[in-house]
Every structure is written in C-alpha cells, then in structure tokens.
Amino acid sequence: MKRVGISPLTAWAAAAAVGIFLAGCASQRPVLYPNTKYKQVGDAAAQRDVDECIRLAEQAGAGHGGGERAVRQGGIGAAVGGVAGAVAGAVSGRNVIDSAAKGAAVGGAAAGTHGAIESREPDNIHQNFVQRCLSERGYDVMGWR
C-alpha cells in the first residue's frame, strides 16, 4: 500500500509561509505617554494621528523596512542551504541536485521566517519620522510595541 501525504519538506515550507504572513501582520506601533494633548483628544483621535504619521512616513519613503528584510534573509538562507545541501549530497553519495534543492528550500524557509519575525520592528528612519511627526502634534512617544 502506497502512503499518501505531505512530505516533511512541504510541511516545513508551508509552516514557514504561515509564519511570514503572521509576522508581517503584526507591526509595532508607537506607545504614547498620556500627556495633556493625549488626554485632551482621547485615545481614538490619538491613534488616528499615529496612523496618519505612519502614512506620512511611508509616503516620504521612510517605509517600515520589514518586507525587504524578510526577502533578503530568505534569499541568503536559500543560497546557504543550497550549498550545504549540495555538499551533504556529494559527501553521502546522494543526488547532489536534489540535495541542493532540498537544502535551499529549508534554508530559505527558515531564514525567511526569521527575517519576517525581525521585520516586526520598524527601521530607525521610520521610527524617527513617526516620532517627530507625533512630537510636532504635541504627543510624547514612550517607545514601540
């Protein structure tokens, strides 16, 4: 009887894709100190101002930076995994091309997931832009979460 199912490599790649998606959905936002301005306008209006400053940062080219980081890490991981897989295949006497492809898939998925998790944190230019925008509107940024 032939076993039908998903290969471990396919399952790993699918899990990595889900991880990348979920990490990309959960970006950090500035945390505001409840100063006079914050208390005057209330939380809903303050969050609209945060959204507006984030939009202005992206329009000015100070984007979040996370997507590029995940893609770059995934490419590096695929290259390293491919080389490691080819070497392992050659040493063990297995199909070098098949081993390289498997190594590239695993390395790319793992590194891409790691890059996506790191991408939750905005780059410094984006943070500085948003903080300055909020400061000019009278808010105090305590940090990012």
Tell me the per-residue pLDDT of 43-87, one tens digit each, with 9 for 90 and over.
999 999 999 999 999 999 887 655 555 555 556 666 666 566 666
Q: What is the pTM of this model?
A: 0.51
Q: For residues 123, 22, 10 and 82, what is the CA-based torsion angle, rounded to 10 degrees?
A: 0
Structure tokens at 16: 């990595």
Give the residue among 43, 27, 24 at the shortest CA–CA distance from 35. 43
Alpha-carbon span 107 to 27, nearest angstrom: 24
Q: Which residues of 47-81 are buried (b: 16+ CB within 10 A; e: fewer)?
A: eebbeebbeebeeeebbbebeebbeebbeebbebb
Q: Which pLDDT score, from 0 to 100, does residue 25 have?
A: 47
Higher pLDDT, 70 or 108: 108
User: Confidence class of residue 122 from pLDDT cuts 50, 70 and 90?
Assistant: confident
Tell me the per-residue pLDDT of 51-60, one tens digit each, with 9 for 90 and over.
999 999 999 9
